Structure 1
Amino acid sequence: MIKGFKDFIMRGNVIDLAVAVVIGAAFSAVVTSLVDNIINPLIAAVFGKPDLSAVWLWTLNNGGTPDDVSDDAILAIGAFITAIINFLIIAAALYFAIVMPLNKLAEMRKKDEPAPDEPVSPTEIELLTEIRDALAKKD
């Protein structure tokens, strides 16, 4: 019963799900702090604004009157770049803090196991049994 539970817990999909929940909950504050306290001040030093959401922002007039901005479309390239930077920060944190250590752990566990495409060599008992059977056939 315990072995079955251990096998269930060690399956890749259960671990992946747990990683997703933990990353979403625990690293949210860390990533927000990194972006707000480190990345955004650096962006503000370069572009003069605290994040890229207001950089490269264009309002496109859709044919309405100049005073009526309700029909205008806003092209926000900076907001898109900000979303990409946030995604890359989260992906890097996930990879280096969770995925890479779990892959190393899996490699260490599988060192003793033969590769799936590698033929398994017979044990000493199997070899001795084959020799015994071959000698018995000779007589």
Structure 2
Amino acid sequence: MSEEKQSILNGFKQFLMRGNVVELAVAVVIGAAFTTIVNAVVKGVINPIVGALGTQNLDHYTYCMGTCKTNAAGEVTAGVHILWGSVLSATMTFVITAAVVYFLMILPMNRYKERQAAKAPVDATAAEVTEIELLAQIRDALISQRDGSESDGPGGPTRVPSQK
């Protein structure tokens, strides 16, 4: 195998072994399985509630702008026929899906993570000085050296030895 093909295969292998790709694949599989649960909730709970108010099939809710004419099969042949029931059904399905995902998956996971974080020992070591803070201290020292004074920056008093 040539060196170029070997590097392409190695690159592809590294791509597949990244955590994000594996996590995404797991999320897709879980999402597909979760769709069945959401559809069962909509069919078994939401549609009967909507059916108590009208019809279980929201596709029957329509509006006609202007004069609509229908043929014997019930198809609209003239006018603007708006299927607002279908839009309402899709919107309700989305909101229900989002609510089920949040309340049954996200909220319990966040609570679990909070409990785990509370149990974790607190790191008592002092935080290291970041590069930005170090550069700010150097800047303050240079300014004080130029002015011939001392600076009380974020790291405490900075004393710059004079170069005489």
TM-score bucket (shorter structure): 0.5 to 0.7
Report if aligned partners of 2:42, 2:93 keep a CA contact under 8 Å in 1.
Answer: yes
In 2, the alpha carbon distance for the partners of 1:21 and 1:95 equals: 17
Structure whose alpha-carbon radius of gyration is higher: 2
1:81 to 2:54 alignment: no
Distance 1:34 1:67 in 2: 34
Pairing 1:60–2:65 present: yes
Judged with a 3 Å threshold, the aligned counterparts in structure 2 of structure 1 residues 51 and 23 are, in CA distance, closer, same or farther, namely: farther
- Larger RCO (CA within 8 A; separation ≥ 6): 1
Answer whether contact 2:59 2:83 (CA < 8 A) is retained. yes
Q: Which residue of 2 is the match for residue 29 of structure 1?
A: 36
Contact 1:19 1:98 in 2 (8 A): no
The answer to whether the aligner puts 1:51 opposite 2:61 as a matched pair is no
Alignment match, 1:97: 104
- Deviation at 1:106? 2.2
Structure 2: unaligned runs, 5 residues or longer:
1-17, 127-164
* Cα shift readout 1:59-103 (whole Å, capped 9, x = no counterpart): 3358xx957845643212222211121111111111122211221
Let me know the Cα RMSD of the aligned residues.
3.4
Give secondary structure in 2 for the equivalent of 1:106: helix
Larger strand percent = 2
Where 2:35 maps in the other structure, the secondary structure is helix
Instruction: List alignment gaps of at least 5 residues for structure 1.
Output: 1-7, 123-139
Alpha-carbon separation, structure 1, partners of 2:95 and 2:78: 33
